[in-house]
Amino acid sequence: MNLKKLQIDKKEIAFLKKDTDLIENNTIQNWALNYLNGHIDHYNGILLQVIKALKLGVGERVLEVGGVPGQLTTYLSKEGFDIDMIDIDPFRINGILEKHSIKAYKVDVERENLPIDNEVYDLVLFNEVFEHLHINPLRIIIEINRVLKSNGILLMSVPNINPLMRWEFLFGKDYNDNLKKEFAKIENIGHMGHFRLYSKSEIISILEDFDFEVIESTFQGKIYDKKSKWLKLFKFLFGNKMKNQLHVIARKK
């Protein structure tokens, strides 16, 4: 496998866009297209983490938790990874799963255990999912640890609560999303929107509490660009801490 080529370029974007034609529900199809257009940088950030994991010596047996809209799963499958998917309703993208022969499990990770034996996977991808969980978000952390092989790697990412968001919170501006709109996504696209954001220290503490060793935590993605009179100053003062995602690499103890 050529690790240097493990990035989604214009050719791959066109390939992934064409796949969305296989989604029968128009609302979900439009959401998947918009998600792809807004998340290429994020996907490529995750792929850089995958490269780091491979350099740590893990194998290529992979599970993606919260895989819909299926773009990262599809890309990694195409690149030769042996990858499965978990999602609350993976069959929203059934045409894509069938085209690429991807095994998918329908699981509500806050209520159900994963229907997978112990120590199956070398690598688990858990990106932009944790902040959507609103019943028992810790259950899936336990389950990820269980299905990972000894010394297996978890790649996790969540939205970053950057210093400007914290500063403006002091003056009454909330950094969580509108809950009415986020809950409406359950009906509109089949899963909960953002429920709660987590700090870097919270994520590290949660992982360590459930038998993971955090190897690396970094801020990645685009620089926060929402309108604020403080934005220029905070970009200057805090640099990478103003990026939109927190990425964590953790090893099962």
Q: What's 12's domain CATH number?
A: 3.40.50.150
Concatenate the DSSP letters of all residues of 15-43 into one string.
Answer: HHHHHGGG---HHHHHHHHHHHHHHHHHH
State residue 176's pLDDT score. Answer: 83
**Distance, CA of 125 to CA of 203 (rounded, Å):** 15
Q: What is the mean pLDDT of the chain?
A: 95
C-alpha angle with apex 71: 180 to 53, nearest 5 degrees? 105
Q: pLDDT tens, 110-148?
A: 999 999 999 999 999 999 999 999 999 999 999 999 999
What's the whole-number mean pLDDT along residues 60-68?
97
**Number of structural domains in the chain:** 1
**Distance, CA of 194 to CA of 128 (rounded, Å):** 9
- The model's confidence at residue 53, banded by pLDDT at 50, 70 and 90, is very high
Tell me: pLDDT of 177 over 90: no
187: amino acid identity, one letter: E
Q: Residue 79: which domain range?
A: 3-252
**Distance, CA of 181 to CA of 195 (rounded, Å):** 10
**Distance, CA of 80 to CA of 7 (rounded, Å):** 14
pTM of the full predicted structure? 0.94
State residue 174's pLDDT score. Answer: 87
Q: Can you say whether residue 234 is alpha, beta or left, with left for phi > 0 and alpha for psi between -120 and 50 degrees? A: alpha
CB 138 within 8 A of CB 128: no
